Amino acid sequence: MDNVVKEKSFAFAVRMVKLYKHLNAEKNEYVIAKQLLRSGTAIGALVREAEQAESRADFVHKNGIAL
């Protein structure tokens, strides 16, 4: 069974990396680009962390943070 949320969060992270590169190279927007990169890639990390949750409540909590 495929994990749609995991796949979409990965695709989103890839888009954020591309946006980061564009903002750095073309627009010289370093501070905003860095924050976008951090927040855009954190979603996937949080979703993966939720997969290893110790309980249902922990799973819900970790996915809530990702949201």
pLDDT in tens, 47-66: 999 999 999 999 999 999 98
Q: Would you put residue 33 in left (φ > 0), alpha (ψ -120 to 50) or beta?
A: alpha
Q: What is the dotted CATH code of the domain comprising 4-21+34-66?
A: 1.20.1440.60
Cα 5 to Cα 7: distance, rounded to the nearest angstrom: 5
28-17-49 Cα angle (round to 5): 135
Q: Give the pLDDT of residue 3.
A: 86
**Once rounded to an integer, what is the mean pLDDT over residues 17-34?**
93
Does position 40 have pLDDT exceeding 80, yes or no?
yes
Q: Give the pLDDT of residue 11.
A: 95
